[in-house]
A and B are shown apart, each in its own frame.
Chain A
Amino acid sequence: MFSSEWSLVLFTVLTQAAVGIVVISEFTRLLLKNSGAHLKWQAPAACALTALGLLFSLTHLGTPLHSVFTILNLGSSWLSREILVVGCFFAVILLLVLQRRKAPEKGATPLAIASIVVGLGAVFIMTRVYLLPTVPVWNSIATTFGFFGTMLLSGSVACGLIGSLENRSAKNAESCSSMAGVFCVSALVGLALKFIGIVLSMIALNNTDNYGMNALHMVADKGVDGLVAWIVMVCAGIGLFSWFALKAMGTKQIKLIASPALCALALVLAGEIIGRLMFYGTYMRIGI
């Protein structure tokens, strides 16, 4: 049932998490004035995660030395576009990080907005890579919901974890508690997207009947454990995170989140990796 597409699983989950971190933290910066001082490490972390994801993607290639050619077919290949846009995302956030190191609060806003836009674009293009007309299991809005869900879920929990660690001794607790609120909301939105995605993908699976092999039956036959683990881990992670995020808002002590957020991130990432393995594992192409 589980595929061996480990490189792609790690590439997609890590880069989507990185986009989530950037989108949520930069959005929070724009939304909450003076929150920048409390959100210093998100962009560098996203930068590192993206780099790691790209490295994993290289391990998927049979001839990595030829990867330079992979952006030659932007005209028609979504894969080519994906590689380019993820590369751009990495470049933008790298610039953002360098800019902030040079001058913490000056001139970074356009780069911040660019990184949000490029990041969201990257996730969108990543979904397009899988909308193959010959792979009905993937060729569904469920894929889009799923990828954006991953982005928000893992991005918000990661933001929460980083935020709680870097603000262990923060003075402006008010701003931090608002941050926790944003993370909590985005996590819950992510969870909603995820669930809509799962329901839609079950419908897509059920509609995939390749000459007697129903994909949903295949999942029911061999993948129930994985599906349950995925849902339970993601729900537990988000539940834990939201609960403590709300508590942190109440007590205005974001450091309360640190340990639960670490647990939550582990649960969410593990759940998402299982989910993504299942996503690749349900690959079923029409034809012969």
Chain B
Amino acid sequence: MLKRPAFYIDMEACTGCKTCMIACIDKHDLPKGILWRRVSEYTGGDWNKDGNGKYHQNVFAYYLSISCNHCENPICVRSCPTTAMHKGPDGIVSVDHDKCVGCRYCEWGCPYSAPQYSEGLGKMTKCDFCRDYQREGKSPACVAACPNRALHYGEYEELADKYGSENLVAPLPSPNITQPNLIITPNRNAKPAGSQAGKISNPEEV
């Protein structure tokens, strides 16, 4: 098992296909409305007519596939009143269903929408980094599924050595809040965090 597991996203390869989402749903039998991994579409650009009546545009779009980042300083763990939300010795942030009271306070705080409430269980659920697969030496379902090899995982330090430690593109929040174990190679469309150039344009899908 890894000590500090992290996800790595190569935005140059992500087409927003959402195979990771479906692999996750299938692996964990997620019911409708619960998506442990979500692909956000960040889109921007304007259309302006010139004097000849022809449009000019600077449209861009890119996708970001985000699940739980199993943060170093997870706000969900910090704020959970019951300690049900915890970071294990394997670095994985998960919910102890024997304790979770279903207050949804972790959901309020997490800037990645990682903890998700199950009406059926009356408790929170979230990405467990496919702990069972990792124990068997297999990749998490989303990583093994990625058709364009945009999604990887590994030991944070090793990934950081290989790809740098950048993880700041819009619309992600400042990493100072939770210190996410996420590394990103931005693509040429990527806007810096806090940019007002675009917006999440698929709220209905995530």
Contact = CB atoms under 8 A, between A and B. Distances in A.
User: Quick check: do A and B touch in the complex, using CB within 8 A?
Assistant: yes
Select the residue from B81, B99, B110, B111 with max chain A CB neighbours within 10 A: B81
Given A62-B101, A63-B102, A70 B81 contact: yes
Given A73-B82, A79-B105, A286 B111 contact: yes
B64 interface: yes
B172 interface: yes
A152 B80 CA distance: 30
B177 interface: yes
| Interface secondary structure of B, over-half rule | loop
Contact of A62 (B81, B122, B177): B122
Nearest to B178: A134
A288 B64 contact: yes
Nearest to A79: B81
Interface string B114-133: 00011101110000000000
A77 B79 contact: yes
B111 A134 contact: yes
B140 interface: no
Interface in A198-244: 209-213
Nearest to A60: B103
Given A73-B80, A211-B196, A132 B170 contact: no
Contacts of B118: 62
Given A132-B109, A133-B75, A285-B111, A62 B104 contact: yes
Given A62-B122, A132-B108, A288-B171, A79 B79 contact: yes
A66 B81 contact: no
Question: Could you say which of A61, A80, A210, A211 has the most chain B C-beta atoms within 10 Å of its C-beta?
Answer: A211
A211 B198 contact: yes
A213 B81 contact: no
B82 A69 contact: yes
Contacts of A172: none
Given A287-B171, A288-B64, A135 B83 contact: no
Interface of A: 60-64, 66-67, 69-73, 76-80, 83, 129, 132-135, 209-213, 283, 285-288
29 contacts: A61-B101, A61-B122, A62-B101, A62-B104, A62-B117, A64-B101, A66-B82, A66-B84, A66-B100, A66-B101, A69-B81, A69-B83, A70-B82, A71-B81, A79-B81, A134-B108, A134-B109, A134-B177, A211-B171, A212-B199, A213-B199, A285-B108, A285-B111, A286-B173, A287-B110, A287-B172, A288-B111, A288-B171, A288-B173
Interface of B: 38, 40, 42, 64, 66, 75, 77-84, 99-105, 108-113, 117-119, 121-123, 170-173, 177, 196, 198-200, 206
